[in-house]
Structure 1
Amino acid sequence: MNEQQFPDNFLQTLSAENGFDQENFIKAHQITDAPTSIRLNPFKRPSLKTDERVAWCSDGFYLNTRPSFTFDPLFHAGCYYVQEASSMFTDHILKHIRPNIDDTIKVLDLCAAPGGKSTLLNSAINAEDLLVANEIIKTRVPVLTDNLSRWGQANVIVSNNDPKDIGRLKSFFDIILVDAPCSGSGMFRKDPQAMNEWSEANVELCHQRQERILADILPALKEDGYLIYSTCSYSHQENEDILDWLCLEFDLESIRIPIYKEWGIVETQSPDKKAWGYRFYPGKVKGEGLFASCLKKKTNTGELGTFKNNIHQKISSKEIDQVKAYVNKPDDYYYFKVNEDWLAINRAHKESLNILQRHLYLKKSGVRVGKLMGKDLIPDHELALSTIINKDAVLQTELTYDQAIQYLRRDNIDLNPTEKGWSLMNYEGQALGWAKLLPNRINNYYPKEIRIFSSPSPPAP
């Protein structure tokens, strides 16, 4: 790739940016293969061979080669997430600001799909903390829900709402992450097609949309709460100009995040309010383009009213005891029903769940345990992948690699079970889902909507 292949005026718009090295930038984009990086799930502790660590994220690693993740059962088990390394910087920001909040926290990931930053946030907070992962675009919600279900934690709620709707939850959140929709120039190396959509006019439209989103959501942030703002754009209008606008219009205080020189991250300041920002340039960092920043809210925009009545249906203690049998440390959770499905969420989040259900459209709350049919539980796929499951209460079947692929394809599995009933289907000790073992066959209950359709390529001769 040479200078002429970038969009018109693109390089010129970056020429005055702090730390921008045009020759190095062009050279980095001539590399055809962008770095491949993954982030391990700390709740599942997989046995994976990893290579170089991502400097700003303790669970992040670069891979020397890009494998076929589709045909890795451990990927489907939620043992890791394939995430671009620069975007893992959110972990470093969160670990810097979290000690400043003494109490348990509620975190919002506003523009959450497909789930990279949500699973990262979920890894960085405590079980007593709550993560709300919101996706504005309805068609993108299923992939977000699937990825968080694979991650396996019960302190997560997924919603599908406009920022203005969430903004009515005044002073509800301690931390809000807005990874804003942007012009996408930071993804040019990874996705060259993004160049066809870039223009100075589109940058300006993105700037206006970012202001609108931030203005709508800020009432939901508590006084002394933190806003993490990021884009995958290099454009000043979408980054430093937004910081100046936030400080001027909403009196936010910029937070300086400590970084190390050897990381290659460029620290910047906005022109007027000198708000701190962090730019990631391919060639300087081993990752794609990113801008990140953190600000603290210094004003109170009101409080949300309280509600005494629980909106969940009354349920019998006998049924709860049946469900509890399948949950590890069962008294740590609050149990409720949505239609016929039983769900469990960390007990500390009962009140927050009640509030959110009154105000938002929720797509996932905690872990879906399953349906009760008489004395039996029909277990849900979420329970299989969760970290709350009581594995002593269920059968478990260890699969070979070939059997695991058959299972993920919903094919017949070549097994001769000696026991009957619902069984976790495991690969290297990690749960993939459920099957029902019968005397003459195995019923494969891996969800149809996420099954693998293709087959692994045969090894080279």
Structure 2
Amino acid sequence: MKNVEFPAHFLDSLKREPGFEAQNFVEAHQNPHAITSIRLNPFKKSASKTGKQVPWCKEGLYLDTRPSFTFDPLFHAGAYYVQEASSMFIDHIIKNIKQNDEPIRVLDLCAAPGGKSTLLNSALNSTDLLVANEIIKTRVPILTDNLNRWGTANVIVTNNDPKDFSRLKGFFDIILVDAPCSGSGMFRKDPAAMNEWSEANVNLCHQRQERILADIYPALKEDGYLIYSTCSYSHQENEDILDWLCDEFEMESINIPINKEWGIVESRSVKQQAWGYRFYPGQVEGEGLFAACLKKTDSSGELPFYKNTAQQKLAVKEIDQVKAYINEPDDYYYFKVNDDWLAIGREHKESLNTLHRHLYIKKSGVRIGKLVGKDLIPDHELALSTIINKVAILQIELNYEQAIQYLRRDNIDINIQEKGWSLMTFEGLALGWAKLLPNRINNYYPKEIRILSNAPTI
């Protein structure tokens, strides 16, 4: 057991919180054994990852030990995401409120680094659209990288302030606000977070959460769902926010069914009796989390209709060249950003145009690459995507040592007779591109995401 110094007044403040058990909580934080969990990518099946299932998420697995994910090619291929188990409860909420296959539009407002965005994406159909927004510009690249690894074409990444979304009246069917908070639920995972905690900070976070939710409210359609979550235990940031939402706006609380064996504490807010779900270490196999779901019962109006008069005029011959690299190519809308060709599901074309009019977009669908004459210089996004036409593309299967060499952007020594662009794969999943030449292999793995650290010693 390790000794844990909690912030002053912290444990006293938790004694008032629903379902809190002090002894279990303290012992869980003193236990040096860290719980490691991953969530499998349903679009990229791999037989190599096994473990005990997270009870509230079908794709979630608890691992017996924590491997070096940096040196696992399957991680870089997007076969799974390393995610804290409690956070996967959002999947259970989505499965309960999304009762049919009608196409919907979903917003993850505070999305980086991408755990909840990839989770949402896994729960959606290709006809649904996910908008993953990150407010902080420097956090957008990691969000984009993780969604690129996940591989689907029904994702748009934006970099906007919450108030920018107020212009998109009634646009989204579901909005997830994983709100910035005081972070007490991460104390076990990140002890340094204890230095930031104070009762004053809890109150500041409460005010920030109200501002964010008020800004985003108009973008939710009538009968749409707001999923609210924090990694805080404080009622000011959780149940009090639910009461404020029900008092200030036309929202009703949604009861999400849970299994008592999961150890999740079901709470009710003081004024409106709104349902919330609390995760305490020592009572669940996971870190601290609060989550809730509310339904909007009024309308904020609708977006005005804009006729898109600035359609790109693209050469049919070039589109046909690009289509050769795409599986089921007629299902997609093709467009260019500068010299790059991109593709997104045809059904998302108008949504893309609307978002482009109101928001700053960082990623749309899948970036295919650049055409140079009759040749395509393929993009890394295409390699990792689930829409690539692998039948028409050369593939080289790498063993583990070769895969690590490739991910380091080192030279790979393979005796190959073929020439041209090739997907480099590991256990059948793509890692990226290489150019096969008569006397060498050019490694095109992106420099900015290559492995820089040394392999762990065994």
Classify the TM-score, shorter chain: over 0.9
Between stretches 42-51 and 335-344, larger displacement belongs to 42-51
* Mapped partners of 1:423, 1:74: distance in 2: 18
* Mapped partners of 2:309, 2:77: distance in 1: 34
Letter in 2 for 1:450: I
Conserved in 1, the CA contact under 8 Å of 2:4 and 2:30? no
Indicate the residue corresponding to 2:356 in structure 1: 357
Letter in 2 for 1:15: K
Indicate the residue corresponding to 1:117 in structure 2: 116
Confirm or deny that 1:88 pairs with 2:118: no
Deviations 1:81-137 (A, max 9, x none): 0000000000000000001x6631000000000000000000001000000000000
* Mapped partners of 1:4, 1:409: distance in 2: 39
Q: Would you identify which runs of 4 or more consecutive aligned residues in structure 1 move more than 4 Å?
A: 1-4
Deviations 1:305-357 (A, max 9, x none): 11111544210111110000000000110000000000000110000000001
Indicate the residue corresponding to 1:344 in structure 2: 343
* Mapped partners of 2:121, 2:434: distance in 1: 28
Between stretches 381-390 and 11-20, larger displacement belongs to 11-20
Indicate the residue corresponding to 1:447 in structure 2: 446
Indicate the residue corresponding to 1:320 in structure 2: 319
Conserved in 2, the CA contact under 8 Å of 1:2 and 1:26? no
Indicate the residue corresponding to 2:255 in structure 1: 256
Confirm or deny that 1:166 pairs with 2:156: no
Q: CA deviation at 1:433?
A: 0.1
* Mapped partners of 2:50, 2:310: distance in 1: 46
Conserved in 2, the CA contact under 8 Å of 1:247 and 1:273? yes
Indicate the residue corresponding to 2:26 in structure 1: 26
Percent sequence identity over aligned pairs: 76
* Mapped partners of 1:60, 1:4: distance in 2: 29
Q: CA deviation at 1:219?
A: 0.3
Indicate the residue corresponding to 2:193 in structure 1: 194
Confirm or deny that 1:395 pairs with 2:378: no
Deviations 1:21-47 (A, max 9, x none): 001110010111321000000001111
Q: Secondary structure at the match of 2:52?
A: coil
Letter in 1 for 2:75: F
Measured on the aligned residues, the alpha-carbon RMSD in Å equals: 1.1
Confirm or deny that 1:404 pairs with 2:403: yes
- Cα 1:402–1:231 shift into 2, 3 Å: same
Deviations 1:137-162 (A, max 9, x none): 00000000000000000000000000
* Mapped partners of 1:3, 1:65: distance in 2: 23
Deviations 1:410-443 (A, max 9, x none): 0000111110000000011110000000001110
Indicate the residue corresponding to 1:217 in structure 2: 216
* Mapped partners of 2:199, 2:16: distance in 1: 16
* Mapped partners of 1:34, 1:13: distance in 2: 25
Letter in 2 for 1:181: P
Q: CA deviation at 1:454?
A: 1.9
Conserved in 2, the CA contact under 8 Å of 1:38 and 1:80? yes
Q: CA deviation at 1:295?
A: 0.1
Q: CA deviation at 1:49?
A: 3.3
TM-score w.r.t. the length of structure 1 is: 0.98
Letter in 1 for 2:187: F
Conserved in 2, the CA contact under 8 Å of 1:156 and 1:366? yes
Conserved in 1, the CA contact under 8 Å of 2:28 and 2:282? yes
* Mapped partners of 1:173, 1:311: distance in 2: 24
* Mapped partners of 2:381, 2:4: distance in 1: 49
Conserved in 2, the CA contact under 8 Å of 1:310 and 1:354? no
Indicate the residue corresponding to 1:17 in structure 2: 17
Between stretches 212-221 and 447-456, larger displacement belongs to 447-456
Indicate the residue corresponding to 1:70 in structure 2: 70
* Mapped partners of 2:16, 2:3: distance in 1: 16
Letter in 1 for 2:233: Y
Indicate the residue corresponding to 2:293 in structure 1: 294
Q: Secondary structure at the match of 1:426?
A: strand
Which structure 2 residue ranges, 5 or more long, are not aligned? none
Q: CA deviation at 1:392?
A: 1.2
* Mapped partners of 1:144, 1:319: distance in 2: 30
Q: Secondary structure at the match of 1:5?
A: coil
Which structure 1 residue ranges, 5 or more long, are not aligned? none
* Mapped partners of 1:106, 1:411: distance in 2: 41
Conserved in 1, the CA contact under 8 Å of 2:169 and 2:221? yes
* Residue correspondences, number: 458
* Mapped partners of 2:113, 2:378: distance in 1: 25
Q: How does 1:409-420 map to 2 (within 5 A)?
A: 409-420=408-419
Conserved in 1, the CA contact under 8 Å of 2:101 and 2:125? no
Q: CA deviation at 1:3?
A: 8.8
Q: Secondary structure at the match of 2:53?
A: coil
